[in-house]
Amino acid sequence: MKLIFRLLGIGLSVSLLGGCIVTSAVGLAVDAATTVGKVAVKTTGAVVDAVIPDGDDD
């Protein structure tokens, strides 16, 4: 009887931790995509600022 409860507890723990691992992996992928997007926008902004004059005559 104790063996059954131990196996059931181990199985439940593994299934719950598996969900945490999947959630962490998805969060990491979203963070990476967000960072790539921010870098792309900043780079595009810098290129546009370099090409288009802003009209300041210093």
**Sequence ranges of the domains in the chain:** 19-47
pTM: 0.49
pLDDT digits (tens, 9 = 90+) for 1-58: 888 888 888 888 877 777 777 778 888 888 888 998 888 888 888 888 888 877 565 5
**pLDDT recorded at residue 55:** 59
**pLDDT recorded at residue 36:** 87
In whole angstroms, what is the distance from residue 36 CA to residue 49 CA? 20
In whole angstroms, what is the distance from residue 32 CA to residue 35 CA? 5
**pLDDT recorded at residue 41:** 87
**pLDDT recorded at residue 58:** 56
In whole angstroms, what is the distance from residue 36 CA to residue 41 CA? 9
